[in-house]
Amino acid sequence: MRARWVRRWVAATLLACVAATLAGCGDDDAVSTAAAVAPADLLLRPAQLPSGFATTQLTVSDLVDSDRAQLVAARADTVMPQECRATADTAFTEKVSASNSAVLAASAADVGLVELVSTARRDIDDDIRTRTAQCRRTHTTVAAGSLAGATVTTESTTLPDPPEVAKSPGGLSVERAFLSRSDVSTTLPDSTVRKQVGFVGYALVKRPGGSVLTVSLTVNGPGGRAQNPPADAVEPMSSSAFVDLFGTALKAAAR
């Protein structure tokens, strides 16, 4: 769906995206599902997508297989600081399947959007750990593949929660939420550089009846041409627009 260098920093481009409804119970790896509602019914509707976006075809199996392959390839990469190597993507991908999740994919020109609603629980605390504090800026050296030797520098900026998360009578019941912007600079072995901007949002949403769902949303801008000096990255949307869109996704998951 995207080049390898793009998928790595977006961890979950989505290692968090897939389709259907959970029938099982009593599994410690799944979020409680007191209300029998299919995740596919709780995605954003096409009419709620930003102007210019159109839905695209994306299957659960293809996405999960691709994400697993990317995670395996990334094991040999060097991440600095070392403690900033993420684990949430691997754990979450192993729990996501077509029987417990639903995915919506859309695009506008070179911008990609993927939303996931899943009964599998994502470790959002790990996402926060690996994108804030000493991990706000990371450097990854790619070990193998077409980008072997490239260095990927990622600067993460935490975004505010949407108003829907507010702890007030009018707010949704959200157990955990985290939104982040990533400014990514990839330096290739020939010293050329390409830049990209992307957004990611994760939340655990409590639904009427007691069930809890993971909602994940990513929006990735175009990678651009590698050159020296590098061209400025093209924002796929403003940070405030992403926050608003994520709030809409949370309301959809709680309906």
Neighbour-count burial of 117, counting CB atoms closer than 10 A to its CB (0-12 exposed, 13-18 middle, 19+ buried): buried
Measured distance CA(92)–CA(144) in Å, rounded = 24
Burial 10-46 (b: 16+ CB within 10 A, else e): bbbbbbbbbbbbbeeeeeeebbebeeebebeebbbee
**153 falls within a domain:** yes
Cβ 180 vs Cβ 131: under 8 Å? yes
pLDDT at res. 37:
80
Are 239 and 247 in contact by the 8 Å Cβ rule? The answer is: no
pLDDT of residue 68: 87
Strand partners, 214: 118, 204
User: Can the peptide bond before residue 50 be classed as cis, meaning omega within 30 degrees of 0?
Assistant: no
pLDDT score at 169: 63
Give the count of beta carbons closer than 10 Å to the beta carbon of residue 101: 28
∠ CA 137-17-255, rounded to 5°: 110
Q: What is the pLDDT of residue 64?
A: 87
Strands of the sheet containing 78-80, edge to edge, are: 54-56, 101-108, 111-118, 212-220, 193-206, 174-187, 151-159, 137-141, 78-80
Task: Tell me whether residue 39 is in a domain.
Answer: no
- pTM score of the predicted model: 0.85
**What are the distances in angstroms from CA 255 to CA 13, 16, 140, 176?**
25, 21, 40, 18
pLDDT of residue 168: 59
Tell me whether residue 57 is in a domain: yes
For residue 181, count other CB atoms closer than 10 A to its CB.
20
pLDDT at 47: 97
Phi first, then psi: what are they for 28, rounded to 5°?
Answer: -65, -20
Q: What is the mean pLDDT of each run of 10 residues along the chain (255 residues)?
A: 39 36 38 64 96 92 85 93 93 94 94 95 97 98 93 98 78 92 97 98 91 95 93 97 98 91
Q: Is residue 228 part of a domain?
A: yes
Count up the domains in the chain and report the number.
1
In a domain, 130, yes or no: yes
Q: Which domain holds residue 237?
A: 4-20+46-254
> DSSP label at 125?
H
Cα within 13 Å of Cα(120), Cβ side: 26
Q: Confirm whether 29 is domain-assigned.
A: no
**Domain membership flag for residue 235:** yes
Residue 31 domain-assigned (yes or no): no
Cis peptide before 229 (omega within 30 of 0): yes
pLDDT of residue 43: 96
